[in-house]
Chains A and B, each alone.
Chain A
Amino acid sequence: MAAAPHSSVDQFILETRGLTKQFKGFVAVSNVDLRVRRGEIHALIGPNGAGKTTFFNLLTRFLTPDGGQILYCGEDITLARPAELARRGIVRSFQMSAVFPHLTVLENVRIALQRRLSSTFHFWKPASSLAVLDARARELLAQVDLAGFAHTRAVELPYGRKRALELATTLAMAPKLMLLDEPTQGMAHEDVDRVTALIRQAAAERTVLMVEHNMQVVARIADTITVLQRGKVIASGRYAEVARDPQVMEAYMGSAEAALAGAPA
């Protein structure tokens, strides 16, 4: 954690104030105040339909909020454009795995690296001019254990590998704040462990805000937890505090022991 932060800007990389989103009168995200501490892994949990993905979409401006404010590194980004936010360091993954299916694994990662070359509009250059990125791309693939799949088309990867590729692509952006929407969803046990370790490793240099249903994962790596229900924050704090919150037990977990002690999600 940062040593003796002076202001809240130093302390919190992201802050929302009264963030609200409605869909035809149905309030999906309701007046959410959330602060994400720099350098932490912050988990966002809540039952299906709680508004977690919608909240992510608001943060990354894939949706426009109906009210409230978003501050990133102290700056108001409520009206920024999504691609611009990605360039400023907020990079998200998607709940449904998001790879470029007919590009090879290596090309997938390279797309994320390519923007640095400032040749992304150069339609007259040969693709071989992208080879300078291959070394870095392979490094990232090795990190997620995909080194052997560099020339496989992404569509042919098994599900867990696709998610790993997605993570490598996200990491290639060198994000300051990484937003992960259920990164372990639908994965086999070994994959979950691998991805969890990877997120922890990635979080050493950056902040992570993640939606996660798997309580074992949350318990293992999250510093702070926020619980969302019907669009509202019902609890937020350290894992141990939130786990004891009676409202959380009742509303979300049903039984605190069962869920928070690490029953399968």
Chain B
Amino acid sequence: MRAAAIGYLLLGLLALALPWVGLYPVFLMKLLCFAMFACAYNLLLGFGRMLSFGHAAFFGFAAYVTSWLITAHRVGPAAAVLSGMLVAALLGTIFGGLAIRRRGIYFAMITLALGQLVYFVCLEAPFTGGENGLQGVPRGTLLGLLPLRSDRVMYYLVLAIFVAVFLFIRRVVHSPYGHVLRAIRENEARAISLGYDINRYKLLAFILSAALAGLAGSLNSLVLGFATLSDVQQSTSGEVILMTLLGGTGTFFGPVVGAALVVSLQEYLSDLVGGWVTAIIGVIFVACVLSFRRGIIGELAALRRR
């Protein structure tokens, strides 16, 4: 426990120093946003054992909502990001409500189909800018006080939000609700026989996960200044699964490591090998899943327990 606390402290200090050691703040922010996305996804997959194939819908649609509110309605960044998150939560309520009636692969298929639906809406709807997406989204001024144009200022804001989300997820998992969710994950039939309406608990996990995925997407679009179709695309849903599995499902820090790995590889490899980057990450993924099933952090934790 003590070691973990020291580890987190060091990581925190490192995160504070990173923009000053020559790493691009925008790259770091993108990494944090995807780490947040993966943590949100892990809440569903790792702690709720529900496999969603459509999580890009929450990430991407929230990005559109935020960008649209800012460009078309001059809404401030805080309200725009919160609205994106709220819409994602709403979307999550609908998706979750439909998918949770089914188990396993059927659950996954429903989320996949709904995710595709959102993609088509974003492609065709009048306010999303079609193939181009919404470009040139200004970051504006936070609550009329803090201008966000500077990348470093924005970085610390994103970092603070990321830390808050990370701690929030820990709290959820260790809350009275989290205990019930864990019991449901371990043995659904037994949880039912103890009087729990398991679908309501699963739905709450789905909504929380969708809301946080939306927050990540909204922030990401604010950082980059655009929302595009690639945010809602099927491949983004795949990426977040990959990040989570790679880092370790059901661990707190695993998704962060997975996201850092995938985003870094994409960033550095795409300059070197172009389109091959997808194939390379795919191979790494297969190799990892075959050789260490629990993911990087999961395996490390297992080693330490021994």
Please list the residues of chain A having a beta carbon within 8 angstroms of any beta carbon in chain B: 60, 62, 81-84, 86-87, 91-94, 98-103, 107, 110-112, 114-115, 117, 119-127, 129-130, 169, 173
Is there a chain A Cβ closer than 8 Å to B274's Cβ? Answer: no
Please state if A127 and B193 are interface contacts (CB–CB under 8 Å). Answer: no
Instruction: State the CA gap A82–B201 with chains docked (Å).
Output: 15
Cβ-closest chain A residue relative to B190: A98
Q: Which residues of B contact A127 (CB under 8 A)?
A: 174-176, 178-179
A99 touching B176 in the complex, CB below 8 Å, given contacts A91-B193, A112-B194, A126-B171: no
Main DSSP-derived SS at the B contact region: helix
Please state if A101 and B174 are interface contacts (CB–CB under 8 Å). Answer: no
Please state if B192 and A120 are interface contacts (CB–CB under 8 Å). Answer: no
A102 is contacted by which of B171, B186, B190, B200 (Cβ under 8 Å)?
B186
Please state if B194 and A115 are interface contacts (CB–CB under 8 Å). Answer: yes
Q: List the 9 closest A-B pairs by CB distance, nearest first.
A: A86-B195, A123-B177, A98-B190, A100-B186, A87-B195, A123-B172, A119-B176, A127-B174, A111-B183
Please state if B198 and A111 are interface contacts (CB–CB under 8 Å). Answer: no
Please state if B179 and A86 are interface contacts (CB–CB under 8 Å). Answer: no
25 A-B contacts, Cβ less than 8 Å apart? A82-B192, A83-B192, A94-B190, A100-B187, A100-B190, A101-B187, A102-B182, A111-B180, A111-B194, A115-B195, A120-B196, A121-B200, A122-B175, A122-B177, A123-B172, A123-B175, A123-B204, A123-B208, A125-B176, A126-B174, A126-B175, A127-B175, A127-B176, A127-B179, A129-B176
List B residues 155-198 near A (Cβ within 8 Å).
171-172, 174-180, 182-183, 186-187, 189-198
Please list the residues of chain B having a beta carbon within 8 angstroms of any beta carbon in chain A: 171-172, 174-180, 182-183, 186-187, 189-198, 200-201, 204, 208
Please state if B180 and A114 are interface contacts (CB–CB under 8 Å). Answer: yes
Nearest Cβ on chain A to B50's Cβ, whole angstroms: 16
B176 is contacted by which of A86, A98, A122 (Cβ under 8 Å)?
A122
Number of A-B contacts (CB under 8 A): 101
B179 is contacted by which of A98, A110, A169 (Cβ under 8 Å)?
A110
Q: Which residues of A contact B186 (CB under 8 A)?
A: 100-103
Nearest Cβ on chain B to A17's Cβ, whole angstroms: 24
Instruction: State the CA gap A234–B172 with chains docked (Å).
Output: 52
Instruction: State the CA gap A180–B186 with chains docked (Å).
Output: 21
Between B176, B189, B198, B201, the greatest number of chain A beta carbons within 10 A of the residue's beta carbon is seen for: B176
Instruction: State the CA gap A152–B190 with chains docked (Å).
Output: 19
A114 touching B190 in the complex, CB below 8 Å, given contacts A83-B196, A121-B201, A123-B171: no
Q: Which residues of A contact B178 (CB under 8 A)?
A: 123, 127
Please state if A115 and B196 are interface contacts (CB–CB under 8 Å). Answer: yes
Q: Which residues of A contact B176 (CB under 8 A)?
A: 114, 117, 119-120, 122, 125, 127, 129-130
A130 is contacted by which of B179, B191, B200, B208 (Cβ under 8 Å)?
B179
Please state if A114 and B179 are interface contacts (CB–CB under 8 Å). Answer: yes
Please state if B180 and A120 are interface contacts (CB–CB under 8 Å). Answer: yes
Q: Which residues of B contact A107 (CB under 8 A)?
A: 179
Cβ-closest chain B residue relative to A110: B179
Q: Which residues of B contact A93 (CB under 8 A)?
A: 193
Instruction: State the CA gap A124–B170 with chains docked (Å).
Output: 10
Please state if A121 and B204 are interface contacts (CB–CB under 8 Å). Answer: yes
Instruction: State the CA gap A101–B187 with chains docked (Å).
Output: 8
Nearest Cβ on chain A to B168's Cβ, whole angstroms: 8
A83 touching B174 in the complex, CB below 8 Å, given contacts A100-B182, A111-B191, A127-B179: no
Please state if A92 and B171 are interface contacts (CB–CB under 8 Å). Answer: no
Q: Which residues of B contact A121 (CB under 8 A)?
A: 177, 200-201, 204
Q: Which residues of B contact A126 (CB under 8 A)?
A: 171, 174-175
Instruction: State the CA gap A12–B179 with chains docked (Å).
Output: 37
A98 touching B187 in the complex, CB below 8 Å, given contacts A103-B182, A120-B177, A123-B172: yes
Instruction: State the CA gap A93–B189 with chains docked (Å).
Output: 10
Instruction: State the CA gap A94–B187 with chains docked (Å).
Output: 11
A86 touching B194 in the complex, CB below 8 Å, given contacts A120-B176, A120-B177, A123-B204: yes
Nearest Cβ on chain A to B113's Cβ, whole angstroms: 27
Q: Which residues of B contact A91 (CB under 8 A)?
A: 193-195
Instruction: State the CA gap A84–B201 with chains docked (Å).
Output: 15
Between B178, B179, B195, B204, the greatest number of chain A beta carbons within 10 A of the residue's beta carbon is seen for: B195
